[in-house]
Structure 1
Amino acid sequence: MATILRKIAQQVLSRTTFSDVAMDRARDAAVDTIGCMIAGRGDESVTALTRAFDGEIAGGGEARLVTGGSASPSLAALINATAAHALDFDDNFHPARAHASAVLVPALLAVLTSGRATSGRRFLEAYLAGLEAQAAVGFGVNPSHYNRGWHATATVGSIGAAAGVARLLGADENGLVAAMSLATSFACGPKGQFGTAAKPLHAGIAARNAVDAARMAVAGMSGRPDILERPQGFRDLFGGDDARGWEGLTFDEEHIIESRGVVTKRHPCCASTHRAIDALLDLKQEHGLLAGDIARIEAKVGISAVRNLAYPDPADEMQARFSMQYCLATAFLNGALTLSDFTRQGIGRPEIREFMPRIGMESYSAEEEKGVERLPHVVTVTLRDGRIYWKSRLHAKGSLEAPMSDHEREVKFMDCLRWGNRNGYDAVFFLQLRKLADSENLSGDDPFWSLIAGHQSL
């Protein structure tokens, strides 16, 4: 009987054609992630990495950096993926409980060195392979793994991304199995780090691990093909008490990006806040609510969301991204959340701080969550005159069920460019990046990198 990793490898290699829908969604995810990389390039977490590895960053490295210069593929994956996740503006992928693209896209870009070129379409096919592998790995352990406290971006994300990178490098079935097995040995990342610079670093570590595991596998390194399911393997050690395993794992004819999609973020903060933010903004618009009307706002969310949002009184911009109180107060008062709301100056605004004590948060019980993949997040607003309004959201804006328009994607991308000090660029670069699938010679020397690395022409 085939092991789980072999079953995953056989599946991702068997997909040789992809629908236009799958390719378009992969392209949108890649472009969105590139925007997030550019926006996050100046974050303190990324700056610390470039200082730490200053001696290994130069103009003659194999792989390009979003911060400028180049480095080894391993280091490029580490820095670029940390940048992609630094502002928590990158997408979510529910089947893996991971920031799938923040790991996958930088990892795949890192192996497109000056000596190795591929087509844009093959790049996107490798992205889709890695995404499907992430979903399959996550199937056997989530939500138990995530609820136990593991940051699945750094664990499930790394294992699945290794399959995508190995495919892009031309590995056969045994190579994909070996890459995922080795990445399992690299898996790490406790959610207790949320609200610190180590959180985006998890995405960087995962991308680096995916690149290293795939390159080692192609060179002949191997691990146990049954490491997910065997005793003292991934499920046994990382799964938590309720991990179901992979006995029921099946693959549909439709790719996972078609049936489930990735959730493009509307708000630059922890996804655990997003459905509550959307619900509150809906209530504000529907009932014409004003700040002076509000006596109390209560958000009911999942257990893992409460654990993620550990900062009711955030002391810095990173903690603010993981504060339901700050995010709801700011969204209500401003009508939206932007990157500029998450600065040292922004989080101390008196009107925000005055409003935050009116906001509370509670979780569903363990019994309510048992056996249910997702429960809606509910926001209840009590007015000073005694009226009560509530709104339930099962899906956030940016999901397959509530998609962002092309215009909204462009607006977000341009906001990322401005935040990344790319003021000389206009919307034409967004449109050019959306032609990624048409590129015939994608590599570290390709004009595609001009925007990413900060050059002024394509």
Structure 2
Amino acid sequence: MATYYLASWASNLKYSDLPQDVIAAAVRSFYNWAGCAIGGSNHPATTIAYNSLKPFFGPPTASLLGHKGKLSIDAQHAALLNGIASHVHDYDDTHLDTIIHPTGPVASALLAAAEWKGGYSGKEFLVALTAGIEAECKVGLAVWPEHYDVGWHITSTTGSIGAAVAVSKLLSLSTVQTAHAIGIAATQVVGLREMFGSHTKSFHVGRAAQNGLMAAVLAQGGYTSSEQALEAKRGWSNVVGVTKEGLSQSLEKWIGVGATGSGLGLPAVGQPGRWEILRNSFKPFPCGIVIHPIIDGCVQLHHDLASQALDVKDVRSVHISVHPLVLELTGKRKPKDGLEGKFSVYHGAAIGLLYGKGTPAQYEDDVVQDARVIAIRDKVDAKADTSIAADEAKIILTMADGTVLEKHVQHALWAGKSTYPSRKHMESSIRKQLRLNADTWRAHHTC
């Protein structure tokens, strides 16, 4: 009954059910998404998609973010293109328990639907956004980590479900209609990890948004699907969940309202549950989150070198120890462009040491191909260490004169409950990121 549970919960959710910290988290998540979408609006991946699909655009009903004046296209393509733009820099929010980037698929579909239909309040929008984020993170938890390990891009495979739930909520669909929307979205599975480092990774997010929007609209019109789409023998979780053992119990644990003894199911008035949006985090660096400890440590070493009047050009070797997952996900030793650089722990170490920062500018193609960066990157040696956590890193830097500097990053910035920043700190950082992304757009925009 997971599909029906989820549909019933979403269709009955009210703004008054949302705690204040959940409302604040939803606002921050949307703010972060907007900054990322503006920053990625002129990326080649977004531009190519726009120009290629332009002949198919329908009547202008929804906005494309990041363009001078007001640029509108049909809602379906707006969801797709804003979704691509929001994810292409890999700067978007991350649900740490599943590494889902939750707001991209949901907000891209939701904004397009809200503009297309019109007349919604901010409260209605936030309830729908929260419902969608909770839905995709809960179904993601039910199949994590095997689903991701086998090669699915979990952001998009769950994102279409989250987008469908969000738009269904905004359109005031009934529980049965919402269940059908979940099924229509679930059957449109999209996203292979093989695509990481190419334009297609961001396409996953845009397509998930587009699929979710389509699913809700079809369900509103009377289109049907299985009402057990998530839990059936040949349904979503059993097909993409890899293992056949324990999936029904996992769905009950994460989706079932008031699941006995778990306290982890969908939160509802008078029921146990956990809000996943409160476990959402925001990136300090625009790349795969597992690289963050290395960049953080190398940024610190950059400042250590400067304080000791040492030149990064005189570095002889850089030995880094990381969790095995880091090399599996980001082991590209010789990235050819900015998108591949986001999946290169070697490039992350190099920019941290050379520039003392990691912003979208350090992932431009010309930086990845810069001889100075390559010279440092070639000196980096990375090894997997099973005793090191995924958000941890150890770095040993040796200079030409034999000087040795070491850095141990025990936790990546903002990784884990104990290191979540204060609301004031987080909002200040997001405002800074929004300005940075907007400045990047203004510097390069040609429309």
Do these two structures clear the TM 0.5 threshold for a shared fold by scoring above it?
yes
Residues 248-284 of structure 1 deviation map (CA, whole Å, 9 limit, x = unaligned): 3323556524642x12111122223123322443455
In structure 2, the CA distance between the partners of 1:115 and 1:167, relative to structure 1 (3 Å rule), is closer
Is 1:62 aligned with 2:61? yes
In structure 2, the CA distance between the partners of 1:242 and 1:309, relative to structure 1 (3 Å rule), is farther
Do 2:230 and 2:237's aligned partners in 1 also have CA atoms closer than 8 Å? yes
Correspondence for 2:358 among 326, 337, 347: 337
Once the two structures are superposed, the pairs formed by residues 391-406 of structure 1 within 5 Å of their partners are 391-397=408-414, 401-403=419-421, 404-406=425-427
- Structure-2 residue corresponding to 1:437: none
- Structure-2 residue corresponding to 1:439: none
**Of the two structures, which has the highest relative contact order with CA contacts closer than 8 Å and spacing of 6 or more?**
1
Separation in structure 2 between the aligned mates of residue 95 and residue 225 of structure 1, nearest angstrom: 27
- Structure-1 residue corresponding to 2:275: 256
Is 1:272 aligned with 2:272? no
Is 1:377 aligned with 2:381? no
In structure 2, the CA distance between the partners of 1:392 and 1:12, relative to structure 1 (3 Å rule), is farther
* 1:111 alignment partner, SS class: helix
- Structure-2 residue corresponding to 1:308: 329
Do 1:97 and 1:138's aligned partners in 2 also have CA atoms closer than 8 Å? no
**What is the letter of the counterpart of residue 92 of structure 2?**
D
Separation in structure 2 between the aligned mates of residue 286 and residue 161 of structure 1, nearest angstrom: 45
Separation in structure 2 between the aligned mates of residue 210 and residue 363 of structure 1, nearest angstrom: 38
Q: How far off is 1:45 after superposition?
A: 1.0
Separation in structure 2 between the aligned mates of residue 242 and residue 364 of structure 1, nearest angstrom: 30
* 1:199 alignment partner, SS class: helix
- Structure-1 residue corresponding to 2:171: 169
- Structure-1 residue corresponding to 2:201: 199
Separation in structure 2 between the aligned mates of residue 362 and residue 320 of structure 1, nearest angstrom: 18
Is 1:71 aligned with 2:42? no
- Structure-2 residue corresponding to 1:235: 237
Do 1:37 and 1:83's aligned partners in 2 also have CA atoms closer than 8 Å? yes
Q: How far off is 1:43 after superposition?
A: 0.9
Moved more, 15-24 or 210-219: 15-24
Residues 367-394 of structure 1 deviation map (CA, whole Å, 9 limit, x = unaligned): x89xxxx743322324344756342444
Do 1:266 and 1:398's aligned partners in 2 also have CA atoms closer than 8 Å? no
Residues 278-335 of structure 1 deviation map (CA, whole Å, 9 limit, x = unaligned): 24434555786753356323131242x4332242111111111111111111022211
Is 1:326 aligned with 2:347? yes
In structure 2, the CA distance between the partners of 1:132 and 1:421, relative to structure 1 (3 Å rule), is same
- Structure-2 residue corresponding to 1:216: 218
Residues 417-452 of structure 1 deviation map (CA, whole Å, 9 limit, x = unaligned): 01111899xxxxxxxxxxxxxxxxxxxxxxxxxxxx
Do 2:156 and 2:190's aligned partners in 1 also have CA atoms closer than 8 Å? yes
**What is the letter of the counterpart of residue 237 of structure 1?**
V
Correspondence for 1:409 among 430, 437, 447: 430
Separation in structure 2 between the aligned mates of residue 225 and residue 360 of structure 1, nearest angstrom: 51
Aligned-residue RMSD, C-alpha: 2.7
Residues 336-358 of structure 1 deviation map (CA, whole Å, 9 limit, x = unaligned): 11221122222222221111122
Separation in structure 2 between the aligned mates of residue 295 and residue 187 of structure 1, nearest angstrom: 44
Do 1:140 and 1:244's aligned partners in 2 also have CA atoms closer than 8 Å? no
Normalising by structure 1, we get a TM-score of: 0.83
* 2:381 alignment partner, SS class: strand
* 1:186 alignment partner, SS class: coil
Separation in structure 1 between the aligned mates of residue 415 and residue 26 of structure 2, nearest angstrom: 14
Unaligned runs of 5+ in 1: 425-453
In structure 2, the CA distance between the partners of 1:295 and 1:25, relative to structure 1 (3 Å rule), is same
**What is the letter of the counterpart of residue 205 of structure 2?**
A
Correspondence for 1:112 among 108, 111, 114: 114
Unaligned runs of 5+ in 2: 255-264
**What is the letter of the counterpart of residue 23 of structure 1?**
I
Separation in structure 2 between the aligned mates of residue 154 and residue 85 of structure 1, nearest angstrom: 11
Separation in structure 2 between the aligned mates of residue 99 and residue 327 of structure 1, nearest angstrom: 20
Residues 147-175 of structure 1 deviation map (CA, whole Å, 9 limit, x = unaligned): 11100111012112211111111112112
Q: How far off is 1:56 after superposition?
A: 3.5
* 1:221 alignment partner, SS class: coil
* 1:112 alignment partner, SS class: helix
Q: How far off is 1:46 after superposition?
A: 1.0
Separation in structure 2 between the aligned mates of residue 362 and residue 148 of structure 1, nearest angstrom: 22
Once the two structures are superposed, the pairs formed by residues 33-72 of structure 1 within 5 Å of their partners are 33-57=33-57, 60-66=59-65, 67=67, 69-72=71-74
In structure 2, the CA distance between the partners of 1:124 and 1:364, relative to structure 1 (3 Å rule), is farther
Is 1:159 aligned with 2:161? yes
Separation in structure 2 between the aligned mates of residue 78 and residue 168 of structure 1, nearest angstrom: 18
* 2:92 alignment partner, SS class: coil
* 2:382 alignment partner, SS class: strand
Do 2:288 and 2:342's aligned partners in 1 also have CA atoms closer than 8 Å? yes
Separation in structure 1 between the aligned mates of residue 397 and residue 380 of structure 2, nearest angstrom: 11
Do 2:186 and 2:229's aligned partners in 1 also have CA atoms closer than 8 Å? yes
Do 1:265 and 1:398's aligned partners in 2 also have CA atoms closer than 8 Å? no
In the alignment of these two chains, the number of paired residues is 414
- Structure-1 residue corresponding to 2:318: 296
Do 2:11 and 2:178's aligned partners in 1 also have CA atoms closer than 8 Å? no
**Identical-pair percentage:** 22
Residues 162-201 of structure 1 deviation map (CA, whole Å, 9 limit, x = unaligned): 1111111111211221111111110111100011000111
Separation in structure 1 between the aligned mates of residue 431 and residue 185 of structure 2, nearest angstrom: 34
**What is the letter of the counterpart of residue 380 of structure 1?**
I
In structure 2, the CA distance between the partners of 1:363 and 1:119, relative to structure 1 (3 Å rule), is farther
- Structure-1 residue corresponding to 2:5: 7
Once the two structures are superposed, the pairs formed by residues 175-186 of structure 1 within 5 Å of their partners are 175-186=177-188
Moved more, 119-128 or 246-255: 246-255
- Structure-1 residue corresponding to 2:261: none
Normalising by structure 2, we get a TM-score of: 0.85
Do 1:264 and 1:398's aligned partners in 2 also have CA atoms closer than 8 Å? no
Do 1:341 and 1:347's aligned partners in 2 also have CA atoms closer than 8 Å? yes
